[in-house]
Amino acid sequence: MRQIIGLLRVGAGWIFLWAFFDKLLGLGYATVSEKAWLVGGSPTEGFLSFATKGPFKEFFVSLAGNPLVDWLFMLGLLGVGIGLMLGIAVKLSSYSGALMLVFMYLAGSIWPVHNPFMDEHIMYAIMMFLFPLADNSVIGISGWWGRQDFVRKHPILK
């Protein structure tokens, strides 16, 4: 069971880290190279401007292209991805990732097309709450990380 949860954690981390690199470099999956963040594109503008729907649409559209929102989004993707993949700061990474997923659900997936309530954002968010409860020493560097003095003083970083 520990190995399965470890693989789920690493897989979830890869999803966040891949999204970061795709938006940063414009790898051609969700972001074309001309709209990469490194060449001046906004990682939030396209989705928040055109893919939002539901009761919170106007709120999320108002955030589109805001440089602060872009930075927070990209730092969130990077931090959650690295934390989950390496097994460090798993509590902080998991809770931050769950919050990001809930925001993505509220922005564009509320009342999904294929299911009246449930979609992958909600399932991933629920899954994120499993990782802080698990033994994360199976895959990653959480054993070494947990022995660091600053992590012992600040348990949210475990």
pLDDT tens column, 56-77: 999 999 999 999 999 999 999 9
Task: Say if residues 75 and 100 touch (Cβ distance below 8 Å).
Answer: no
Match 């709450």 to its residue by tokens.
129
Element at 105 (helix H, strand E): none
Type of residue found at 105: Y
Q: What is the domain count for the chain?
A: 1
Range of the domain at 121: 2-157
Query: Which pTM value belongs to this model?
Result: 0.92
Nearest to 74 by CA among 128, 23, 11: 23
Which pLDDT tens digit goes with each residue over 49-58? 998 988 899 9
